[in-house]
Amino acid sequence: MEQPPDRSDSSNNLSGIIGAISDGPGVYLMKDAGGEIIYVGKAINLQKRVASYFQRQEAHGAKTALMVSRVADIETVVTASGKEALILESNLIKQHRPRFNVVLKDDKRYPSLRIDINATYPRIEIVRKTRKDGAVYFGPYSSAQAMRQTVKLINKTFPLRKCSDRTLSHRTRPCIHHQMGQCLAPCCLPVDPKAYRGIVKEVILFLKGRTPELIRRVRRHMLKASSVQEFETAAVLRDRMVALEKTLERQATVTTDFLDRDVIGISGNSDFRLLTVMTLRRGFLQGVRHFEIIHAAPEKGELVTQFLVQYYQQTHSIPVEVLVPELLEHYQLLEETLSEWRMRRVRVRYPQRGEKRRLLEMAENNSENALRERLQKATGEAAVLEALKRRLRMDRIPERIECFDNSNLAGSNPVSAMVVFVNGRPHKAGYRRYTTRTVSSPDDYASMAEVLLRRYGKLGPSDPEPDLLLVDGGKGQVNIAVAVVGKLGLAGRFAIAGIAKKDARKKEPEDKIYLPNRANPVNLGADGRLLLLLQQIRDEAHRFAVTFQRKQRARKMVKSALDGVTGVGAKRKRLLMKHFGSLKKIRAATEDELSRLPGINESLARAIKQALS
């Protein structure tokens, strides 16, 4: 019989390790019996900090106590200063992603705005990834819709160029934005770079939230233009000032000192915490973002410190003040690090009273409300999935559901698509599109068999097996799925079901759900949420398949229609399709609109129009 590990030997071993640890600043890495790093921490005095975990363990929280119970070895890295330890800790956390540390997800899915101030004529770009390339970044924005509204307002108010660098170098005449007064057309017209940079500075002021300061600047320029009788310029500046004043009226001011600051709120327990960042610029509330922290062991203050270092390493916008919900140990190190990154003094404060305390309470209320909403939603989704498991007689909860649908138009351009739902929500990174290779005629069963063989014949980390395989169709499609899964040796590994549309001629009340080896549809009971979830998944698969099929058909139509045009090859066909979106829109475009595309001159545009007429 296997004996449990002798903790006394482990404790003696750890005592020896702790006794040999330096009393200088550095980073410590705690490892379990398998050698895996489970926690990374920093300290001004390494020996004192590490020893504190094993003294008065009853004072620790449950998660920290669990972590300490698993420690079998400790490795340390001595640094020259506490500030170096703070940065090294963050880098090691990102490298090893220990279970008990705060590990922020990359913000790639959140868009940011980029202005390359090193360009002769900068423009605003929407990007998903920020780099240290000398450009100015704003964001990331938690709401892509709000960000696009901001860009739309900027494009209407400030006449910066809209075209890409590639288009700028090839354009021979101003575009419609210049005709509307929304672009100075530096692509074709002589534009003073100094004057253009003045507009760029105004855009940066606006994005920094300094709208009052910008309004004063525009008013000053307007009065100057008016005094020298440049009335057209003064009128443009007047319209810009009015637009900015309207924007200012919609902004909510929450402080009276008009400082740039971030306010941190925190809610939840050691198993699940929600950290909230409330962003204020020049006293105006610009946005609120929430970060989920799961299974992190550190106490509240240490958790906040680890979060802030990782958060500000990812963002290009560090404020002059950060308000935190806990008095942080060695907060001076955090101030020094943030000040060095910002190249200006940054203060970290834990206010006890007054306006700043009210801001902390506001952030904490936002965090608690968001946590409550997320838990309620998660509870509801978990209940639906649990009920679906019972009704479909599954041996596990269908956390991952994959659904397949086929699409063709009168037998032409047959394609298939797979969508993935994880915990009841679309997981778009898992979506897949298939062009059928072995089926040319409209054979739904054969198409389904081919695609299922391609999908489940190569299971791997990036394509794990589902809990539920859902096919769009009835008993026939279900039988095909069962046969393919059996052929691949995966029978019994996951559940299979089909969803068939109701037959209006038979006056069927709702769609039907079929299971293998069962003649009649499944009764999902009175809870309408079960059928609604499966319908949403099926409809999403149908939408995804039809969209793909239309794109494939449009590409072939464009290819066949333009095959005889000299000078239009595969590259220009892709360009036309990407720019206009469909053959109908290409056919409706004017010669002038066609010739604005890079590589298409007036004679080629005329030939394209003649070929499509």
Helix or strand or coil: residue 449? helix
Same domain assignment for residues 205 and 291: no
Alpha helices in 109-230, H assignment, sequence order: 144-157, 165-170, 176-179, 193-207, 211-227
Q: Is the pLDDT of residue 478 over 90?
A: yes
CATH code for the domain in which residue 574 is found:
1.10.150.20
More confident residue, 28 or 376: 28
Residue 2 lies in a domain: no
Residue 140: asked if its preceding bond is cis (omega within 30°), the reply is yes
Over residues 103-132, mean pLDDT: 77
Q: In the structure encoding, which two tokens stand for residue 102, read together?
A: 């705060």
Element (H, E) at 47: helix 46-53
| Averaged confidence pLDDT in the chain | 82
Q: Is the pLDDT of residue 412 over 60?
A: no
Percentage of the chain exceeding pLDDT 90: 23
Over residues 410-424, mean pLDDT: 80
Q: Cβ contacts of residue 173 below 8 Å, gap of 6+?
A: 188, 596
Q: Is the pLDDT of residue 58 over 80?
A: no
Q: In the structure encoding, which two tokens stand for residue 352, read together?
A: 């006890």
More confident residue, 578 or 556: 578
Q: Cα–Cα distance between 32 and 381 in angstroms, integer?
A: 35
- Rounded to the nearest 10°, the torsion over CA 489, 490, 491, 496 is -140
Same domain assignment for residues 221 and 168: yes
Q: Cα–Cα distance between 482 and 607 in angstroms, integer?
A: 53
Q: Is the pLDDT of residue 110 over 70?
A: no
DSSP class of residue 325 equals S
Residue 103 lies in a domain: no
522-561 b/e (C-beta count within 10 Å ≥ 16 → b): bebeeeeebbebbeebbebbbebbbebbebbbbeebbeeb
Contact of 557 with 583, CB cutoff 8 Å: yes
Same domain assignment for residues 340 and 405: no
Over residues 300-321, mean pLDDT: 86
* 9-18, 274-283, 354-363, 528-537: the lowest-pLDDT one: 9-18
Q: Is the pLDDT of residue 321 over 90?
A: yes
pLDDT at 99: 85
Q: Is the pLDDT of residue 2 over 70?
A: no
pLDDT at 4: 43
Q: Is the pLDDT of residue 461 over 60?
A: yes
Q: What is the largest CA-CA distance in the chain?
A: 98
Same domain assignment for residues 437 and 545: yes
Over residues 8-27, mean pLDDT: 78
Task: Determine the angle formed by the axes of helices 444-456 and 475-487, rounding to 10 degrees.
Answer: 30
Same domain assignment for residues 114 and 234: yes
Same domain assignment for residues 131 and 240: yes
Over residues 426-436, mean pLDDT: 88
Same domain assignment for residues 246 and 349: no
Domain boundary among 222, 250, 278: 250
Q: Cα–Cα distance between 86 and 25 in angstroms, integer?
A: 10
Helix or strand or coil: residue 287? strand
Q: Cα–Cα distance between 496 and 514 in angstroms, integer?
A: 9
Contact of 31 with 6, CB cutoff 8 Å: no
Over residues 23-36, mean pLDDT: 91
Contact of 263 with 362, CB cutoff 8 Å: yes
Q: Cα–Cα distance between 286 and 211 in angstroms, integer?
A: 12
pLDDT at 455: 92
Domain boundary among 327, 353, 372: 372
Q: Cα–Cα distance between 156 and 177 in angstroms, integer?
A: 9
More confident residue, 109 or 40: 40
Domain boundary among 354, 372, 390: 372
pLDDT at 295: 66
pLDDT one-digit tens code per residue, 66-79: 888 889 899 999 99
Q: Which residues are 347's β-sheet partners?
A: 321
Same domain assignment for residues 246 and 266: no
Element (H, E) at 372: helix 354-391
pLDDT at 572: 81
Q: Is the pLDDT of residue 553 over 70?
A: no
Q: Is the pLDDT of residue 107 over 50?
A: no
| pTM more than 0.75 | no
pLDDT band at 316 (very low <50, low <70, confident <90, very high): low
* 82-91, 329-338, 369-378: the lowest-pLDDT one: 369-378
Residue 536 lies in a domain: yes
Q: Cα–Cα distance between 355 and 421 in angstroms, integer?
A: 44
Task: Determine the angle formed by the axes of helices 570-580 and 528-562, rounding to 10 degrees.
Answer: 130
pLDDT one-digit tens code per residue, 220-278: 888 888 888 888 878 878 877 877 676 555 555 566 677 889 999 998 876 678 899 98
Q: In the structure encoding, which two tokens stand for residue 232, read together?
A: 């057209």
pLDDT at 31: 92
Same domain assignment for residues 205 and 292: no
What is the tally of structural domains in the chain? Answer: 5
Residue 83 lies in a domain: yes
Over residues 435-458, mean pLDDT: 84
CATH code for the domain in which residue 423 is found:
3.30.420.340
For tokens 């209320």, the residue is 365
Same domain assignment for residues 531 and 412: yes
Same domain assignment for residues 266 and 244: no
Over residues 175-190, mean pLDDT: 83
pLDDT one-digit tens code per residue, 140-165: 676 676 677 778 877 877 888 888 87
Contact of 162 with 155, CB cutoff 8 Å: yes
* 382-391, 396-405, 444-453, 581-590: the lowest-pLDDT one: 581-590
Q: Cβ contacts of residue 459 below 8 Å, gap of 6+?
A: 465
Sign of torsion over alpha carbons 118, 120, 121, 127: negative
pLDDT at 56: 67
264-298 b/e (C-beta count within 10 Å ≥ 16 → b): bbbbbebebbbbbbbbbbbbbbbbbbbbebebbbb
Length reported for the chain: 613
Residue 395 lies in a domain: no
Residue 379 lies in a domain: no
Query: According to the per-residue pLDDT averaged within each range, which of 126-135, 140-149, 324-333, 394-403 is highest?
Result: 394-403
pLDDT band at 556 (very low <50, low <70, confident <90, very high): low
* 354-358, 511-515, 608-612: the lowest-pLDDT one: 608-612
Strand spans (E) along 535-599: none
Residue 503 domain boundaries: 400-551
pLDDT band at 284 (very low <50, low <70, confident <90, very high): confident
Q: Is the pLDDT of residue 487 over 90?
A: yes
More confident residue, 231 or 325: 325
Residue 557 lies in a domain: no
Same domain assignment for residues 180 and 297: no
Q: Rg for the chain (alpha carbons), in Å?
A: 31
Burial of 594 (0-12, 13-18, 19+ CB in 10 A): buried
- Residue 504, phi then psi, degrees to nearest 5: -65, -30
Residue 513 lies in a domain: yes
CATH code for the domain in which residue 54 is found:
3.40.1440.10
